[in-house]
Amino acid sequence: MKKLRRVGILVAVVMLVVVVVYLFEKNTDEPEKIFVIPVNSDELFISSEEGYNSIKVYRQANILVINALSEAAFFDGVQFTVEIEGGNNTRRCRNHLDDYRRQYGICRRQ
């Protein structure tokens, strides 16, 4: 009976260690890549910061790449693209950005 009890305790301890190691490995706080489309400072079209929120819009060919960040705990950030028609249509680009700001309530244009 004592041997069976020791084996049971040993199995329980091994299972506990395995579960703890699994949970530790699963919950590593490595930040996810939020901005997967690479941009550089030469492509910066417009940016705005207000309080804890910031938005940067980069222009690549006929695409706007929009990066939005906030220091709020519930918002990690977001990146998305908007395809624009026509060549160098600045007014249309700004209208897309203004639509985004109205929709999500992020930053006013400065």
Predicted TM-score (pTM) of the model is: 0.52
10-63 residue pLDDT tens: 999 999 999 988 887 776 665 566 777 888 888 888 888 888 888 888 988 888
Q: Is the dihedral of CA 38, 42, 45, 51 positive or negative?
A: positive
CA 54 to CA 101: how far, in whole Å? 11
What average pLDDT does range 73-82 have in this prediction? 80
Alpha-carbon separation of residue 49 from 35, 75, 105 (angstroms)? 18, 16, 13
Sequence letter at residue 52: Y
Question: Is residue 46 exposed (0-12), middle (13-18) or buried (19+ Cβ within 10 Å)?
Answer: middle
79-101 residue pLDDT tens: 888 887 765 556 666 666 666 66
Sequence letter at residue 5: R
Residue with the bigger pLDDT between 64 and 104: it is 64
CA 110 to CA 50: how far, in whole Å? 9
Predicted local distance difference test score (pLDDT) of residue 110: 43
